[in-house]
Structure 1
């Protein structure tokens, strides 16, 4: 917004300077033409009064008097270009000073009665030459008028206007900065509160809803979706408590908790990224905030679908097939992570497949989360995501520059409850494999110790 105000101020100043110069030029042009016309009419009547009907018949006193009356110096030449009369301010010598031949040629070759001489090195000096005609339109000679444009008043007005303009727009920039600061603080405060509440969300604990009083409109939808998810989690927990299948409950509770925690982690990363960007002074437009909210709402919807299925005797959501653009869905999943560390590559604009949108997002976010967690803290993350296709399949590659997978763990990596991390239940990769097999797909990987790992996801395309 502030950039817009500054650019607008510069444009207004430029247009103002242009308009002032244009008006000033037109003013002096009209003023010179008006003075020329009045002086020529005066000369015509003075020549007629002399009865001789020639410019030579004008007395010096008459010439000086006309110069004083019109406040304009001038010289009178005969048709051969020889000076015959001059006002006192001009130092030409009658009978000797002659006009430039180009001027005489102009009047002899053209039907125009006026010639303006352009002074390239001086825009304030505008000499003009006119044919002097008798009242019967008979050429009597040529008059030379040196006109000096006085722009002192115009410059003062222009300077005064620009100072006032600068003052007004300077205040506008200051006001815009203050408004932007308070709006950003207001929005960020709401998002910070949401982030803290999301961090405290637990499946088995009593979760607190977020109050949406004094919350920006762009964030209200996010708050409402989160509160709806809390209601569903509470309902699911009550139904689970009443279930008599204790063994099934324990196993399923682990898996559901893992699935709910899976989107919560990238949601927290997104909010942390937002906070870091704000602390560096970056401003956020309404579109950027809405994009951020939509990304988080999508993850909340994922958790809501899990909670709904959890209420039906702890069953995972039933996969459904829908026609979708794989590139678009994967790109949406990437938005909840810090994309500064992610290199996304795809040569196609659209790759269609019959897949469950929620499940595809879950697969992508789970693999990306694992990729980030596999990288040492003292190493800059380098995550590469690529999407391609062959005649029958979609191929998604996700690689990192982390620790890698040891040979002893390669055979157990897709087994339930197997994990090499200090936290987590080891259900993520097992679940991804089950989902892909339900869609006739597969997952495999290649890894080098301390170099990184690349997971390859394949499933049929349309």
Structure 2
């Protein structure tokens, strides 16, 4: 899972745990490094202290001896004393001549054999050429580390008498126990700190994300078409307060913009509606005006056909008045939102009844069942069906055998009404405009039929869709929920 996909609360948890974990690891690494350094210093200083103490003891033996103080007499000088000194200081003591051959050792089973008990030539060279005349060799065996120091012991005139070798075993058991104990305590402490960090992270993340969650919920609920409430969050950080202030300012600006947009849309809608009404009304007014003017010019009371002419003029005016009345009714019906009446209807019966007003014999009705019950408005359902059929009839071109099939289908929770025709179809450029008010491809009509159908269907939480193929026909499908 990518980190950027994690929630802020999860990120805080991970950050706190990693912080404690990394700090504990860092402390452990530093402690181990410091332990190793201190251990090396401890063994180095301890070996130096032992060297000084043993050299002091050996010098005392040399001063007290009755033998001649020369290299060859060293085994006799320290014949018994070397064991006492080694035992007192708890360390093995080896004495070599200046050529590197073993003279005497505090280890009883170590016998002077020149072939096998000699100091390496490189050590002798370093011992001779260093300013301190001291060499320390470190070697690692399987389970232990040894330091072996080489130093001169001198006579009373500070003339080198022999080479002192101290094999020193680095025993870290005690220090290792201390380190293990410390690391164990560090682990316990880190565990407690981690638990505290998790607890702190829980409450801290809850505190931080609470305000962000409130802001997020408000933003998700923000809608242009309704009044949005502002966020009222107190006791927050400067950043959260700035975010809340920005959101509230945005809400104010959004409301102002929504009011301006709604006003503009209403004004535009009224302008478009006024233009359409004016255009539709002008159409019948022109023949009415011409009829009246013609009647004025040709009126002759003595004409024997005067009554016939008056009747013709009257019929023309009535026809145009009826046209104007139908225009007014169409706009009135479109503007009027359908009342959401709830009637338990047999949809099959109502659709069949709606087809009775059409005399065209090429309209066919079919249904899988004789009864499909749904809760709808009887009048509005009839309006939907009749408008769809009228639209199909008007889509029929000349020169074909028209066919319109109306089908009612029962599904689990919805009822589906399909109106199919074999007309001219809908072109690609008109598909997006087909449900727009006043859009029409016909020479007559106002283009309100499909817009009215869509308005009714959506009022009842239904859907209207269509599939079409140019010059082969169109199928409109309306679905209504049964309840």
User: TM-score, normalising length from structure 1?
Assistant: 0.49
Greater radius of gyration (CA) = 2
